[in-house]
Structure 1
Amino acid sequence: MKPFDRLSTDPARAALIVILAFTALRVVFASLLGFGVDESYTLGQARFLALSYFDHPPLHIWLAHGAMKLFGTSWAVRLPFVLLFALTSWLMFRLTERLFGGWAAAWAVFALNVSVFFLASPGTWVVPDGPLLFCLSAGMLALARLFFPKDGEAPSAWGAWVVAGLCFGLAGLSKYSAVFVIFGLAIFMLATPHRRHLLHPAPWLGALIAAVLVSPVIVWNMSHDWASLKFQAGRGGGNGLTFPAFAQMVVGQFVWLAPWVAVPLAYAGVAAFGQIKDPRRLFLIALALPSIGYFTLQSLWSGWALPHWPMPGWFFVFPLLGLWLVENPDAKPSSETWAKWCAGLAVGLSLGLGIIGATGALTRFGVPVRADPTLDALNWTELRPLLIARGAGQPSGPVVAGLTWNEGGKVDLAIGDIAPVIVLGPDPRGFGFRQDQRSFAGRQVIIVALAGTYARQQAALASQFDVLGEPEKATVGRLGRPELDLVIVRAGGLKSATPRALALR
């Protein structure tokens, strides 16, 4: 089927070629682009193994910890996440193939991999979405074999639910939002004759297995006054009706998915409602709708939301897009033309952003630094020799401090393997939980911050030290070109060892 017949007449082989090609693209992209603020922060947290963590459950951080043992803090720590998404893409093929056939599955894999979000975030970066999607797709594939057996198959309910329980437990160890997809599964079962499975003990065994696997998250939260769950729940707080935030949320999802993928994806999802009596379509709609619906609508009353939050729901719409492309071969523009443009844009955007991130090319052509979309992926590597020269890393040497969690992550990535890094500002996130802050009382501290951040917090910092030195100017950039202005401040006698925001505990 065009355009895959140029790759292979076998849809599985064509899908594998697509997966291998995009895996190679991701490796190149990963090697070019520096670590974003979330990745820098995550790698810093990954230096300390714990049952769970403040921002998210632990699975991606445990995976990052293992990768750092092999690769240090080089770009190669992304490789396990790149390879994991290659496996996720194959699970997408198998799930869609079972539901709608091989060519629909090949299309679903292609569309998934050319989508900007899935190409970059879960497909390349050190974030929880990669393990989450792998675990969810593996669990749903196990149940799809039970719910939709092929002729001659006699799947075991015990085997399906044990595998699903393992996968859903690991999904819960990846990200809290896994619960929305599981909730969709429950809706599907209750709304269809598959509710009969609930009379069998196997689903309850699977639920027990999932609960045991998620227990580290519960134990950590219990011992930290439910800090992580309170933090995540608080992000959905009410601020009245905020239609601008809702509009930003909707547009943001389409931008993240890439408009040339988002439009047909949304169309295929809506079109599936016209045949909702088909249990295969209903299965996917039920898995997708809770995540997409809740997080999109939540922006109406919370005043804000991040467009990547509903993406686990959109993940389960891709099989419906694959089916629509197979069922509508005469659609305009043709599927072949659409595929060429999608592939070209995916390659161009990833390589273009990678090159800009590696070289800072935009600023060399007069674009303001703050307009560079890759600025957050600038590694602050120049800090390391500057801080070592000021005693960081020496026995009983100074503590290094940032003033925000995201700046602290950048500092931690640069120096955290040889000196303790803390955050003294009003929002330390996980920095406030990974070490006993009281042990730093009275210590000498080197504060590192963006110049603007330090100016805003300088007055408050004066009360936290016996002596607060004068700021020294420093810069970080790419290829020897300064791009960000920092300050380095020596401070003595840390009095407020616990950041103010630790009242959250």
Structure 2
Amino acid sequence: MKFIWPHSRWSSGLLALILGGLLYRTLVAIWLFPGFDEAYYYLYSRHLHWSYFDHPPVVAWTTGLGWWLTGVISPLTIRLGALGLYCVSLGLLYGTATYLFSAAAGVMTLALVTLIPLFTIGFGILTAPDTGLILFWSATLFTAAWEFFPQNGQRRYGWADVPYRPTWRIALLGLWVGLACLSKYHGFVLGLSLVGFCLACAPYRSALRSPWTGVALGLFVITLLPLWLWNSQHDWISFRFQLGMRFDRPQETAPFSLGQMVGYWLISVAYLFPLFGFPLWWVTARKSFQPGHLRLLMTVNPDVELAKDALILWLSLPIMLLFTLLGGKQQILPAWPAPGYWGVVILLGQQAVLWQQQRPRLIRRWLWGSGWFLVALSVVAMLHLQLGFLQQPSRYAPFGGLVPVDQDGSTELLDTGQMRQLIAADPALIAALEEVDFVFTNEYYLGGYLGMAIHPLQDLPITAFSQDPRGFAFWFDQTDWLGQDALYITLERFVADPAIMAQYFPLFDQIEPLTTLPLRRGGAVTETLHIYRATDFQQPYDYPYGP
């Protein structure tokens, strides 16, 4: 397999994109407080298992990589895995676009994914299951292009008189799809999409009958052994959660709403950034409805360029449409359809190269203008998160600020560094941490924040006594704590609900207030931690699921 390296103009742009993007993502990773799920995944990396309640195990490894190597627990270190692996994903996507189309298309594709916020933040900064998913999704795209479209002196199977002959790369595809599933359950959609492409494209149906496909299935099953093993020991709880429990509602299931679906679609375009989101969907629709797709079903010698488009569409469009349609019934997170957007960016990159040949100044303004706008937006966002730049009140806010503290959603992200400093500066609290045997809270996501703040000071078990416990229902045997003392740590808004505290009184002999820790930004209190001393743990908390 041989690639032609782009000439100097493109290669310098490629290097600038990679290094500039890495620098930008690293700076954001340093300054951005951990998200709810990121802090929770940090606890994954402290409780290594074959799999987990809500996700397969790869996210535990990618999240733990940074702090295992450095010994430092911080927003940057839990994101080092994402920062590094995203560079590999970018390389694979660039390689796929270059291999299928041209070096110019590869660089343009790289420019687009570097600018699109959903990719840069969701895949390249935040630690999440999507880190591994997009890596192996990209590897699948790359390997599929290599398998189905051999070039550079190799026989072009299916496009000449020589029939397509499956190769060992089919087995490699089975491994990549298995690893994608071991990262996030979206990988199963990727596998089905790959089968769909082979069925829909006549020259490649023989791949499904090949012995190499049997090897691929074997590698797929073996790769997923950790997932099968853990779930077989826990009543297949992960699959029950992903396929039903997470969508359960106390009220009757809502009917499908076209308006809700369109609203979700517009939100997804906003996350892509409209100047990229709308062209992305336009190119996808245009390529999907172009004449000739029916010929792929019928003839062994269809147009090769059409088949390349079909490969990308088959590995991208199903997951895009699946979650767009599901958005008409349920709340959908932005990252769920994102692997599909990631793939079709190749088609947008190829189209943008054609546009650039016709209107070079317009395309230059499109890319540079979008880039500078997004950078400026990022700077304002980081200033606000760190200093309260838009907060009211804040000593750093121009014109007195715009958003009152009690209406500022960004205060939901907790500054674990400040939490740690406040804990370390309170002698009574440090003494209590040395005396108790575990720490608990009332929300699963708070457990991650507390872990990142407390573990560098005291290595204590941290759990959540909640009816939405996620992994906490499986990580500890509560009977080990009977007769022991604990700290209960929660937030101001939960203290206002007496029902939350009431559920814990029967579990302990006594629960008493210990101290409060005010978190500040721009001189104003944005959140308050309430800490209680709980003595003599008498009975386990009743989780809705678990061992």
| Cross-structure match for 1:488 | 531
In the alignment, the residues of structure 2 paired with residue 253 and residue 424 of structure 1 have an alpha-carbon distance, to the nearest angstrom, of 34
1:331–1:436 CA distance, 2 compared to 1 (3 A): farther
1:240 aligns with 2:254: yes
Query: Is residue 428 of structure 1 aligned with residue 473 of structure 2?
Result: no
1:256/1:308 contact within 8 Å kept: no
Q: Deviations over 1:34-54 (max 9, x none)?
A: 211111111122112111111
1:3 aligns with none
> Secondary structure of the residue that 1:50 maps to in structure 2?
coil
Partners of 1:127 and 1:81 lie apart in 2 by 8
Q: What runs of 5+ residues in structure 1 fail to find an aligned partner?
A: 1-6
Q: Structure 1 residue 86 and structure 2 residue 87: aligned? A: yes
**CA distance 1:12–1:272, change in 2 (3 Å):** farther
Q: How far did 1:413 drift?
A: 1.4
State whether residues 20 and 86 of structure 1, in contact with CA within 8 Å, keep that contact through their aligned partners in structure 2: no
* SS of residue paired to 2:439: strand
2:337 maps to 1:310 = yes
1:279 aligns with 2:307: yes
Q: Does 1:460 align with 2:499?
A: no
In the other structure, the counterpart of 2:119 is 118
Tell me how far apart the structure 1 counterparts of residues 534 and 282 of structure 2 sit (CA, whole Å). 58
1:58 match: 57
**Length-normalised TM-score, structure 2:** 0.85
Q: Deviations over 1:175-205 (max 9, x none)?
A: 0111112211111110112111122111221
**CA deviation string 1:287-314 (max 9, x = no partner):** 112211111212323x322122111111
Is the aligned partner of 1:296 residue 2:324? yes
Aligned match of 1:375: 411
Pairing 1:415–2:416 present: no
Give the counterpart of 1:265 among 255, 263, 280: 280
Question: Structure 1 residues 373, 119: closer, same or farther in 2, change over 3 A?
Answer: farther
Q: How does 1:26-45 map to 2 (within 5 A)?
A: 26-45=25-44
Amino acid at match of 2:188: V
SS in 2 for 1:426: coil
- Inter-partner Cα distance in structure 2 for 1:376 and 1:20: 31
**What are the superposed Cα offsets for residues 48-80 of structure 1, whole Å, 9 maximum, x if unpaired?**
211111121111211222321123212233223
From 437, 440, 444, the counterpart of 1:401: 440
Deviations 1:242-265 (A, max 9, x none): 536434422321122112211111
Structure 2: which amino acid aligns with 1:73?
Answer: I
Q: Helix, strand or coil: the match of 1:218? A: helix
Say whether 1:184 aligns with 2:196. no
Match of 2:271 among 242, 256, 274: 256
SS of the counterpart of 2:327?
Answer: helix
Q: Offset at 1:280?
A: 0.9
Distance between the aligned counterparts of 1:333 and 1:448, measured in 2? Answer: 57
- Taking the aligned partners of 1:293 and 1:488, their CA distance within structure 2 comes to 46
CA contact (8 A) 1:473 1:487 kept: yes
d(CA) in 1 for partners of 2:25, 2:355: 30
TM-score, normalised relative to structure 1? 0.91
SS in 2 for 1:70: helix
Structure 1 residues 451 and 219 mapped into 2: Cα distance closer, same or farther (>3 Å)? same
Name stretches of at least 5 consecutive residues in structure 2 with no aligned partner. 1-5, 157-164, 294-305
Q: State the Cα deviation string for residues 184-233 of structure 1 (Å, max 9, x = none).
A: 11111101121111221112212211211111011111111112221111
Query: 1:400 and 1:484 mapped to 2: Cα distance?
Result: 19
CA contact (8 A) 1:246 1:304 kept: no
Q: Return the index of the structure with the highest Cα Rg.
A: 2
Could you tell me how far apart the structure 2 residues matched to 1:242 and 1:198 are? Answer: 36
Corresponding residue number in structure 2 for 1:4: none
CA distance in 1, matches of 2:267, 2:514: 38
Quick one: structure 1 residues 359 and 154, their matched pair in 2 at CA, closer, same or farther if it must change by over 3 Å?
Answer: farther
Deviation per residue, 1:316-373 (Å, 9 max, x gap): 1100101111223346982111011121123223333233222232222332235445
Distance 2:307 2:247 in 1: 32
- 30-39 or 161-170, which moves further after superposition? 161-170
Q: Please, which moves more after superposition, 310-319 or 239-248?
A: 239-248
Give the match for residue 110 of structure 2.
Answer: 109
In structure 1, what is the equivalent of residue 171 of structure 2? 162
How far, CA to CA, are the matches of 1:386 and 1:463 in structure 2? 32
* Count of residue pairs the alignment pairs up: 496
Indicate the SS of the match to 1:473.
Answer: strand
Match of 2:352 in 1: 325
In the TM superposition, residue 89 of structure 1 has moved relative to its aligned partner by 0.9
Say what the alpha-carbon RMSD is for the aligned residues: 2.4
Structure 1: distance between partners of 2:240 and 2:425: 38
Of stretches 66-75 and 309-318 in structure 1, the one that deviates more from structure 2 is: 66-75
Pairwise CA distance, 1:382: 2.3
Cα gap change, 1:460 to 1:333, in 2 (>3 Å)? farther
Q: Distance in 1 between matches of 2:23 and 2:134?
A: 20
* Residue 212, structure 1, aligned to residue 222, structure 2: yes
Q: State the partner residue of 1:501.
A: 543
What residue number does 2:184 align with? 175
Q: Which amino acid aligns with 1:227?
A: I
Is 1:138 paired with 2:139? yes
Structure 1 residue 122, shift from structure 2 partner? 0.9
Relative contact order (alpha carbons < 8 A, sep ≥ 6): 1 or 2 greater? 1
CA contact (8 A) 1:357 1:378 kept: no
Q: Following TM superposition, by how much is the alpha carbon of 1:486 offset from its aligned partner in structure 2, in angstroms?
A: 2.3
Structure 2 distance, partners of 1:476, 1:490, is: 20
**Partner SS for 2:510:** strand
Change (3 A) 1:269 1:76: same
Q: Residue type matched to 1:218 in 2? A: W
For residues 188 and 136 of structure 1, the distance between their equivalents in structure 2, rounded to whole angstroms, comes to 15
Amino acid at match of 2:545: A
d(CA) in 2 for partners of 1:351, 1:325 = 28
